[in-house]
Amino acid sequence: MQELIIKNLQVSIEDTQIIKGLNLTLRQGEVHAIMGPNGTGKSTLAYTIMGHPKYDVTGGDILLNGKSVLEMAPDERSRAGLFLAFQYPVSIPGVTVANFIRTAINSQRRHAAPPQEDISVLDFRKMLKSKMDLLEMDYTFGGRYLNEGFSGGEKKRTEVLQLAALEPAFAILDETDSGLDIDAIRIVSEGVNALKGPNMGALVITHYQRILNYIKPDFVHIMFDGRIVESGGEELALKLEDEGYDWVREKYVQPQSV
């Protein structure tokens, strides 16, 4: 079984410490939710796991199956089985959704041990259509430029389409629910639910509890001021839904940040 272990992680952006000693163990087959107020470092954690160069790891480690990923470039991390669905997906004019996904799949295959041949055009089309069916997406999306002119919901669905096509060992979903109406949340969640299983672990980052009505987490963590301050089950998410984040702030605010 594969494991992603985050050990005493400390991360800075431009000399400001954002993540302040964060520990988390994610195993294949498990769904973990991270909830926290805005500005608490959730996206920073997601980007750092994927290796965005803006984030400086100043302490701790991120281990994938016992091996540190900190020296690996983002594309290497992706080929090693990590995937991030962005909170704010960027558009790439000139690159179609289908070509983008096919390029990513072929890159994985070429770097596999032993290397595999590129996926055939026919197999790729079949696979992409079946994943689009899963996400109730119109097939014309395959021919559109990535995220160019997409609505918020279409962008998020396209992120989950990439996830479905790449079948990573660990998927991080950064506020995939933000900006989605309830139907889109349901469809995206059903897509994720169809993928989760013994071969995929998921880290679902969210501000609101509602996506967790659809994607049932095994563990819920509350992140505050760069740390995980509480861990438990679904009852934690429900408590946040009922009471908001004020009690978290009162309990965990550091004197120097008041």
List the interface residues with ligand ADP, window 37-96 (CB under 6 A): 38-44
What's the token pair of residue 78?
């992706």
Angle subtended by helix axes 97-110 and 152-166, to nearest 10: 30
List the interface residues with ligand ADP, window 4-43 (CB under 6 A): 13-14, 16, 18, 36, 38-43
Chain residue whose CB lies nearest Mg ion? 43
The footprint of ligand ADP on this chain (CB under 6 A) covers a number of residues equal to 12
| Inter-residue contact 217 to 234 (CB < 8 Å) | yes
Q: Out of Mg ion, ligand ADP, none, which partner does residue 18 contact, by CB within 5 to 8 A per kind?
A: ligand ADP
Q: Per DSSP, which regions of the chain are E strands?
A: 3-13, 16-27, 31-35, 56-64, 67-68, 82-85, 92-96, 145-146, 170-174, 201-206, 219-224, 227-232
Smallest distance, ligand ADP to C-beta of residue 38, A: 4
User: Using the 8-state DSSP alphabet, how is residue 72 labeled?
Assistant: S
Smallest distance, Mg ion to C-beta of residue 251, A: 22
Smallest distance, ligand ADP to C-beta of residue 206, A: 10
Smallest distance, ligand ADP to C-beta of residue 205, A: 7
Query: Residue 4 corresponds to which amino acid?
Result: L
Q: Out of ligand ADP, Mg ion, none, which partner does residue 14 contact, by CB within 5 to 8 A per kind?
A: ligand ADP
| Inter-residue contact 18 to 223 (CB < 8 Å) | no
Smallest distance, ligand ADP to C-beta of residue 36, A: 6
- Residue 169 to residue 39: CA distance in whole angstroms: 28
Nearer to ligand ADP (CB atom), residue 102 or residue 175: 175
Closest CA to 190 of 157, 150, 220: 157
Q: Is the four-CA dihedral 169, 172, 176, 182 of positive or negative sign? A: positive
Nearer to Mg ion (CB atom), residue 49 or residue 165: 49
- Report the run of H or E that residue 258 belongs to, with start and end: none
The answer to whether residue 40 forms part of the interface with Mg ion (CB under 5 A) is no
- Report the run of H or E that residue 60 belongs to, with start and end: strand 56-64
Q: Which of 28, 40, 43, 189 binds Mg ion (CB under 5 A)?
A: 43
Interface ranges with ligand ADP (CB under 6 A): 13-14, 16, 18, 36, 38-44
* Positions that interact with Mg ion (CB under 5 A): 42-43, 87
